[in-house]
Homo-oligomer: A and B are copies of this chain.
Amino acid sequence: MKNYIKHHPWQIVEEGFDAHLNRISESLFSLGNGRMGQRANFEEKFSGDTHQGTYVAGVYYPDKTRVGWWKNGYPEYFAKVLNAPSWTSIGIKIGKHELDLATCKVSDFKRTLDMKRGLLHRSFIATLPDGKKVQVDAQRFCSMADGEVGAIRYAITPINFSASAAITLSVDADVVNKDSNYDEKFWNEVSKEAKAGLALVTAETKKTFFHVATAITYSIQVAGKVVKGKVKITKREKYADNVVTISLKKGMETVIYKYAAVLSSENHPKKKLAESAKKKLKAAAEKGFQKLLDAHVAVWANIWLKCDISIEGDVAAQQGIRFNIFQLMQTYTGDDARLNIGPKGFTGEKYGGSTYWDTEAYCLPFYLGTSDPKVARNLLVYRYKHLQRAIENAGKLGFTNGAALYPMVTMNGEECHNEWEITFEEIHRNGAIAFAIFDYIRYTGDEDYLIEYGLEVLIGISRFWSQRITFSTEKQQYVMLGVTGPNEYENNVNNNWYTSYIACWTLEYTQHALEYVRKKDTAKVTKLLAKIKFNESVETARWKDIRTKMYLGEDKQRGIYLQQDGFLDKELLTVKDLRKEDRPLNQKWSWDRILRSCFIKQADVLQGLYLFDDRFDDETIKRNFDFYEPMTVHESSLSPCVHVILASRIGYKEKAYEMYLRTSRLDLDDYNNDTEDGCHITSMAGTWMSVIKGFGGMRVKDGMVHFSPYLPDQWKSYSFRVDFRGRVLRVNVMRQKAEVQLESGEPMEIVLNGAKVQLS
């Protein structure tokens, strides 16, 4: 755990330069706009420890799988979002010396991420090896108003000298992925162009043949007037630049504006890509930095208006929650159903930028509550579009008849992950994808989604469950053998309660969906069932049989659901019994020891009680919480938020607050010592849920929104906005009272603390 980020309600602030923290800050201060993203790498050269990262949404590379021991069924590759051509670099050479914070003396270093405006700001004074002192003030953003545009304002002022300087403004596609399995580079050059005022490289990913054109231009100004320097052009393999030689005058600020256009063949024809990039670049440069920034800030203002959470009395908590919202909003904007949310967003390479069940189980509620319903809908449609791949994926594992198994990790619908206990066994993900359809409809009321998309996905998933479940002659019940639940500290167990429960629920909901669609659009359902060769009487009879005869483990004496068969044979300890030096278990204990122990990475029985909380009474939740919570080590970033929500419901306020702290500043304080790899973007949605569903007690039932808010003792008050069916609701929670205001939209009725309230 670290504590170097200064607390501030709207900003992330780093003061003073510590090279050891640089990779962490590069993650924390990352920028993105849903289309492209950028770690907070310095513009000028940095020869110290850095993790360069530029990303273009949806552009990935299938890296050949690396395993120790191949097992049949493993996918051939891991599709990863790859490090894309870099556009942010501004090299500064003064005399013989390159400006490089690893070799200069640095003072007055300050890095700020202004979350309100989506602007990265950095300033410092550097003393070059020859004693020349310069002051630098750098700002940049990835435009939320135009996802293909980035802009930098880089101002440099000589403090104690005048001299000529060579400014290198480049595009570099000769980049590497640190996580490349076989140390390959992933890009080939298609074309390049460089002339005074332009550098452009079009590069193509190997194997996947995505094209990305990255074009830059610039304007160098002193006191608002353009300075024309001598321009030298360099082109080499995958690289193009302009080196502009100018004179720096003592005490005078020279401002370098660098503009970038980053276009991918996902959105433009390949043939015209370079031309389109130049057009986009020209338009951006003509607008200029300030106008681009204004448009960008306006988008952010609108976002915050819908989804801000403000907390009085706790700046750290305030900063934490806004950071979580900010990162989510700049990762995924929801306007493209081909895109999704990687666990690290645009902040790092880890987990390959691919899609996990995190999206459905954690991110979907966030976007439902903060954005236009089409954003959440696009997340669902993303999976709909992958349905055939999910059917193929199940086919590779021996399933037939249109059974669909969505992948654990994917970019294009194909499975990428390669650990058998996860890839093949962590099938609860399929349930999360079914649940997301239900959750979306519950929230938006858009039940007709079932007609166009939902039913077909649900049938595919139900067909999978139907084949994956085994009838035990011994038990005369259906069992679910060989699974890994969300608690990944158990592998290959039988009858994981959560997985079995969500499987049965899927069968039930699919039946409901089938009936709904038949009622609403008979022609559609007839056509669909014919297309997918659905043998309705046989298939639904089996579903019903499974639902009625499913084995769901319980310990009646304790009144709890059993995480899996044999769980009670373990030595039942609590986290308090662990020595500090044994934590985190996954770094200190060998895998078998973790598996044998009762300790839980993420309590999946509780996950189930959270998802289906209207089916369980408080006492049941309390008994299960009391049993499983003390064994939970929360070594998944997805874990604590569920505990906040359940603890809030059953009145465990202290526990809820403890868990909230754990989730909300996970990255800012580098809780797990891994922020340098990138931020935990998907679990940030869990932090948002902690406030809204936990402290705020928000639920949607039968088309009505319910709140039962309470104020953590540590806060003075808090307030949040949620988007619900065309309205923006503002919930203010103070010590003595809680109120809900309708900020925009039609009048409506809500339920506050169990009582109906009319809002207008």
User: Could you list which residues of chain A lie within 8 angstroms of chain B, going by C-beta atoms?
Assistant: 65-69, 71-73, 396-398, 418-421, 424-425, 470-475, 479, 481-482, 491-494, 565-566, 568-572, 586-593, 595-596
Contact = CB atoms under 8 A, between A and B. Distances in A.
B482 A596 contact: yes
21 contacts: A68-B418, A69-B418, A72-B587, A73-B589, A73-B591, A396-B590, A398-B590, A420-B591, A420-B592, A421-B492, A424-B591, A470-B571, A472-B569, A473-B572, A474-B568, A481-B566, A481-B570, A482-B592, A482-B596, A491-B492, A565-B565
Given A472-B569, A472-B570, A482-B595, 6 more contacts: A67-B68, A72-B591, A73-B592, A425-B592, A470-B596, A565-B566
A484 to B, nearest CB: 10
A13 to B, nearest CB: 35
Contacts of A572: 473
Contacts of A420: 591-592
Nearest to A78: B68
Contacts of A71: 590-591
**Cβ-closest 10 pairs across A and B:** A73-B590, A424-B592, A472-B569, A474-B568, A67-B68, A420-B591, A71-B591, A482-B596, A397-B590, A492-B492
Given A66-B68, A67-B68, A590-B424, A492 B595 contact: yes
A635 to B, nearest CB: 12
A432 to B, nearest CB: 19
Contacts of A73: 589-593
Given A566-B481, A570-B470, A68 B419 contact: yes
A687 to B, nearest CB: 26
Contacts of A424: 590-592
- Tell me if A's interface is mostly helix, strand, loop or mixed: loop
Contacts of A591: 71-73, 420, 424
A459 to B, nearest CB: 22
A418 B591 CA distance: 11
Contacts of A69: 418-419
B481 A398 contact: no
Contacts of A396: 590
A387 B596 CA distance: 25
Contacts of A590: 71-73, 396-398, 424
B470 A72 contact: no
A475 B592 CA distance: 22
Nearest to A424: B592
A177 to B, nearest CB: 16
A398 B597 CA distance: 12
A481 B569 CA distance: 8
Contacts of A593: 73, 397-398
Nearest to A592: B424
Contact of A494 (B491, B569, B588): B569
A494 B425 contact: no
A569 B475 contact: yes
Nearest to A595: B482
Contacts of A566: 481, 494, 565-566
A471 B589 contact: no
A513 to B, nearest CB: 28
Nearest to A419: B69
A293 to B, nearest CB: 42
Contact of A66 (B66, B470, B570): B66
A278 to B, nearest CB: 42
Contact of A398 (B473, B479, B589): B589
A482 B481 CA distance: 15
A420 to B, nearest CB: 4
Contacts of A596: 470, 481-482
A530 B421 CA distance: 44
Nearest to A397: B590
A66 B470 CA distance: 36
Contacts of A595: 481-482, 492
A421 B71 CA distance: 13
A390 B604 CA distance: 36
A72 B586 contact: yes
Contacts of A592: 73, 397, 420, 424-425, 482
Given A474-B568, A491-B492, A494-B566, A588 B481 contact: no
A409 B474 CA distance: 38
A419 to B, nearest CB: 5
A545 to B, nearest CB: 16
A425 B491 CA distance: 12
Nearest to A481: B596
A582 to B, nearest CB: 9
Contacts of A493: 492
B470 A569 contact: yes
A248 to B, nearest CB: 48
Contacts of A475: 569
Given A424-B591, A588-B72, A569 B474 contact: yes
A491 to B, nearest CB: 5
A595 B491 CA distance: 12
Contacts of A68: 65-68, 418-419
A474 B557 CA distance: 11
